Structure 1
Amino acid sequence: MIPTANLAALLLHAARRHPDGPALIWRDQTWRWADCLDRVTRAAAGLRAAGIEAGDRVLIHSRNSNAMFESMWAAWMIGAVWVPTNFRLTPPEAAYLAESSGARAHLIDAAFPDHAAALRAANPSHRLTVALGGPLDGADADWDALAAHPSPLDTPVDVDRDHPCWFFYTSGTTGRPKAGTLTHGQMNFIVANHLSDLMPGLTHRDASLVVAPLSHGAGVHQLSPAARGAPTILMPSERLDVAEAWRLVERHRVTNMFTVPTILTMLTRDASVDQYDHSSLRYVIYAGAPMYRADQIHALRKLGPVLVQYYGMGEVTGAITVLPPHWHTTEDDPAFPLASCGYPRTGMDIAILGPDGAVLPTGETGVIGVRGPGVFAGYHGNDAATRDAFAHGWFATGDVGHMDARGFVYLTGRASDMYISGGSNVYPREIEEALLLHDAVAEACVLGLPHPKWGEGGVAVIVARAPVAEAALRAHLEGRLARYKWPHRFVFWDALPRSAYGKVPKRDVRARLIEQGVGFDQDASA
């Protein structure tokens, strides 16, 4: 065992340095750091009095709120494991997370009574249900009552480096979600790494706006402002109101925000971006998927040189690559890694792996492998998946890409997305990138379907922002992509399906195409 700092110490330190400073702002209420510490230490005592102990899992199914923010610190104070769900999951989906994690406590937003019942029924380990934000049938306690416990805890429990603190569930796009085990030692590294690579110079005078659920990347991100005593501002509701986001940026002089490319594009393409003062922004961090070049250029023109990209995933808690503001440009300058997701994060190592796990030379395409203190401890209750992920001494991300001579990484797509057409590997990501450079294309999703001549043929599903003919899209690809990569068919939809995590599951796209009878006839010659 190697003793390390309990993550809850970040909250204690911020409250000691800045007791009267704003810690959390939500709707019309502001909680000072001293307020947060008081509520968290009392709620932690309340959880312990209810029988929740170190090592127990505390599942929370909630929209963003002060209780969501407080619950993670309270769980860590007693050495419990925080298990957040995405509030958009259905009751059966959330129930699977409760059962697979073995959660002893369920913290449930009062807006989700059906979820509360489903979790109780599915999880034999359950001992305690806590209602958040209002009354809930079957609840054993209320969060605000726990946060008023008469005997607050003085200090967090002792933990070691490998003590689990967070079960970070994967999106489950290729099967059942898996719980990545994040530890106190790993997450302390992540906080320091984020401050170093994503938001250098952050202080208590900064302010962070949250425009995504705290259950995943946004929750990880807000630990860094907390470490510096900077306030976190939550959107007033779970619905993204773009104009309200920009109003909050102006009102609170927001300096940083974490988002994903789709949301960043919505923020910068809405007319309200020009109606509010956003000159306070220093770091607009986007991750979760590569950003299409056309959208990146537009965002840079609207916001200036403040974009920070990182490539990561739950198992590595975002810490794989970084592309800071000075490596972004609106110009087609060959000195800049225009299509890159960045270079290795401080303290992390990256390799491109071949099918046998051997490290490939510069420029060759393979699976991206990563190692370093930001990598998780493995999948909870799934030793086989853990062994597979680390089979060759690196954590295999499942993403395909290559690295140039300077160490910049270029994503091609998921290994599972690749298809073989006429004996050649085709990676949908680069086709989607090319299509999105057409002004009429809002979204593009490319995948391979069985083809009688080529083995597999590409089908491009297009969401258009203006009428566009298939011939115009083919002409647009001329000179941009080798012809063997061109889609054999184009299909136009009003919208792409999205998972509860905001991603486009290609298995759902494929199922819908098959349901609609889209495919290639036996006499197809194209």
Structure 2
Amino acid sequence: MRIGGENPKGGVPPISKRVMNLAHFLRQAARRHRDEVGFVCGDAAWTWADLDRRVDAMAAALAARGVAKGDRVLVQSKNCNQMFESMFACFRIGAVWVPTNFRQTPDEVAYLGQASGASAMICHGDFPEHAAAACRACPDIRFVLSIGPSDFGEDYDGLVEAYLGRSVPEAPVEQDDPCWFFFTSGTTGRPKAAVLTHGQMAFVITNHLCDLMPGTTHADASVVVAPLSHGAGVHQLVQVARAVKTVLPQSDRFDPDEIWALVAQWRVTNMFTVPTIVKMLVEHPSVDVHDHSSLRYVIYAGAPMYREDQKRALAKLGKVLVQYFGLGEVTGNITVLPPALHEPEDAPGLKIGTCGYERTGIQVSIQSEDGRELAPGETGEICVCGPAVFAGYYDNPEANAKAFRDGWFRTGDLGHMDEEGFLYITGRASDMYISGGSNVYPREIEEKVLTHPAVAEVAIVGVPDKTWGEVGVAVCVLRPEAHLSERELLAWMDGKVARYKHPKRVFFWEALPKSAYGKITKKDIRAELEARGCLPLERRLEASAQPA
């Protein structure tokens, strides 16, 4: 069968791969469930029809100000309904949504504006310095809209009111048309803009509903416990696809009591978070005060959850945990460990430490340095292919060349697969260190240290050592009222962890540095160790050897 005209090479000629504009999810929800609540924040609530009208109005306002298909709109905002709406307003006119981490500095946000080539900005009124810095650094930014009271830009809500009743046609989009610049966390170097597309994200949304939250309907509710600029934004986009109401805490800071109260009030059925947030939620006294029996899926990502933390969460919440492994570049779609495979007690045959099996439509390959696929049980770099893989980094050919090899996206994570295809993450390639010629993977040791009853959190980093090349340094946070010394912990580790894997030093802090998304950040731990004079170790050991 021939499609189109003659093709001298005998293949199928290129044709347009038009796909649904992602903003159409909101239109669908408004058509089918127009008077049902779609978004909640404090005492305020919006129906799906309200949200669709507001997004239409903002899309018309942006278009009237010259924003067109392919233009990038920088968004600096903490979680709020306007930020949520701005995603769909950009999508609707074919523009690219460029959300920032609202905790970043003005200069960091200005860099994101430059790196993305932003031509417009939506900025929360709490961040005038960020708006000013972005405008100074980005001459292409033609205007700024302000969310809430401010001394800069046109008022977002005022424009919505002015344009209510107006609409613009949904921009026609193709498979590879960008919709979202998802900035990486920048663990090495400056953040890079991963280009997410309309076609890719349609697969991601379908995959999330299939693998993470099967059976989700408009009768469900989801509470937001992370910034909408990253993984939580993807999660809420998935909720819109099924007309699931989104419940936003009113407090700007993380408050476990407020979260659990909202779960009870709105009969919340799912949430997306990271392991450290799950840990804080289940260890807070309020978990025993509020009814959370409505929860079906507590989805965590960003890092594997330590086994001891899993056990505590399962004991409090029941078998509702869902783990997925995936980077922003793969939009979370690599593996899944569903509730049925989260067991509250260790038992023979239990796959402890796995992050699950391949997501639907995704293939994982464990590869050596030279790209050779490794056998089950062998540790190498986790590489992935499939429709969820991003289109590449924006305007960064060098990064793209490093990120892809023979069509495989290289995650930079190390791990191995077993004979049944379950994946085990050893850690980031950058976390591994070599001590006396042997590879040491910090996560393996961290898992063991966390079984000590006095230890609440731990992070181990490799540091230079004159004798062994590199050694580990552990930083621990103790449980309330607990007492533990460096010597006691190292003695306790004897027989549990091979001696060459023992950290050379152990420090105890009141808290570990965490990112805006609640993840423990080892580059910040290393910097803090240096700031406190703990590194280099030789200097510290020499100082401690001096007579008092």
TM-score (structure 1 length as normaliser): 0.97
Partner SS for 1:115: helix
1:368 is the counterpart of 2:368: no
1:160 aligned to 169, 174, 183, which one? 174
2:74 aligned to 59, 62, 83, which one? 59
| Aligned AA (1:383) | P
| Aligned AA (1:120) | C
Instruction: Tell me which residue corresponds to 1:116.
Output: 131
2:538 aligned to 518, 521, 525, which one? 521
* Cα displacement (A) at 1:173: 1.4
C-alpha distance after superposition, 1:230-282 (max 9, x if no partner): 10000112201111110100000000011111111111000100001100000
The 1:143/1:379 distance shift into structure 2, 3 A limit, reads: farther
Contact 1:39 1:148 in 2 (8 A): no
> Please, which moves more after superposition, 326-335 or 24-33?
326-335
Partner SS for 2:191: coil
| Aligned mates of 2:385, 2:429 — CA distance in 1 | 19
* Cα displacement (A) at 1:496: 1.9
**Which structure 2 residues correspond to residues 382-393 of structure 1 after superposition, within 5 A?**
382-393=396-407
Instruction: Tell me which residue corresponds to 1:303.
Output: 317
Instruction: Tell me which residue corresponds to 1:88.
Output: 103
Contact 1:347 1:373 in 2 (8 A): yes
**How many corresponding residue pairs?**
523
Contact 1:86 1:501 in 2 (8 A): no
| Aligned mates of 2:348, 2:198 — CA distance in 1 | 41
Partner SS for 1:381: coil
2:216 aligned to 202, 205, 209, which one? 202
Unmatched 5+ residue regions in structure 2?
Answer: 1-15, 543-548
1:411 is the counterpart of 2:422: no
C-alpha distance after superposition, 1:433-482 (max 9, x if no partner): 11111121121111111112111111111111221122332233233322
**Which structure 2 residues correspond to residues 303-452 of structure 1 after superposition, within 5 A?**
303-452=317-466
| Aligned mates of 2:18, 2:123 — CA distance in 1 | 32
**Which structure 2 residues correspond to residues 470-485 of structure 1 after superposition, within 5 A?**
470-485=486-501
Contact 1:452 1:520 in 2 (8 A): no
C-alpha distance after superposition, 1:316-371 (max 9, x if no partner): 00011100000000121232222111110000000111000111111000110011
Instruction: Tell me which residue corresponds to 1:188.
Output: 202
Instruction: Tell me which residue corresponds to 2:142.
Output: 127
1:493 is the counterpart of 2:495: no
2:526 aligned to 503, 510, 515, which one? 510
Contact 1:53 1:79 in 2 (8 A): yes
Partner SS for 1:229: coil
What is the Cα-based RMSD across aligned positions, in Å?
1.5
Partner SS for 1:521: helix
| Aligned AA (2:494) | E
1:228 aligned to 234, 242, 247, which one? 242
* Cα displacement (A) at 1:24: 0.2
| Aligned mates of 1:147, 1:196 — CA distance in 2 | 38
* Cα displacement (A) at 1:402: 0.6
* Cα displacement (A) at 1:505: 2.9
| Aligned mates of 2:401, 2:489 — CA distance in 1 | 44
| Aligned mates of 2:79, 2:233 — CA distance in 1 | 10
* Cα displacement (A) at 1:94: 0.8
Instruction: Tell me which residue corresponds to 2:46.
Output: 31
| Aligned mates of 1:148, 1:308 — CA distance in 2 | 43
| Aligned mates of 1:223, 1:124 — CA distance in 2 | 31
| Aligned mates of 1:457, 1:24 — CA distance in 2 | 50
Contact 1:367 1:399 in 2 (8 A): yes
| Aligned AA (1:50) | R
Instruction: Tell me which residue corresponds to 2:485.
Output: 469
* Cα displacement (A) at 1:512: 2.7
| Aligned AA (2:514) | R
| Aligned AA (1:259) | T
| Aligned AA (1:521) | E
Unmatched 5+ residue regions in structure 1?
Answer: none
| Aligned mates of 1:268, 1:511 — CA distance in 2 | 30
| Aligned mates of 2:256, 2:504 — CA distance in 1 | 37
1:12 is the counterpart of 2:27: yes
Instruction: Tell me which residue corresponds to 1:149.
Output: 163
| Aligned mates of 2:309, 2:104 — CA distance in 1 | 29
| Aligned mates of 2:364, 2:501 — CA distance in 1 | 28
* Cα displacement (A) at 1:511: 2.5
> Please, which moves more after superposition, 246-255 or 327-336?
327-336
Partner SS for 2:365: strand
* Cα displacement (A) at 1:151: 5.0
* Cα displacement (A) at 1:150: 4.8
**Which structure 2 residues correspond to residues 255-270 of structure 1 after superposition, within 5 A?**
255-270=269-284
Query: Percent of aligned positions with the same letter in both sequences?
Result: 57
Q: Show structure 1 runs of 4+ deviating over 6 A.
A: none
Partner SS for 1:254: coil
| Aligned mates of 1:17, 1:517 — CA distance in 2 | 60
Contact 1:62 1:108 in 2 (8 A): yes
The 1:508/1:150 distance shift into structure 2, 3 A limit, reads: closer
> Please, which moves more after superposition, 105-114 or 331-340?
331-340
| Aligned mates of 1:143, 1:74 — CA distance in 2 | 13
Contact 2:148 2:155 in 1 (8 A): no
* Cα displacement (A) at 1:141: 4.5
| Aligned mates of 2:201, 2:534 — CA distance in 1 | 47
| Aligned AA (2:253) | R
**Which structure 2 residues correspond to residues 246-257 of structure 1 after superposition, within 5 A?**
246-257=260-271
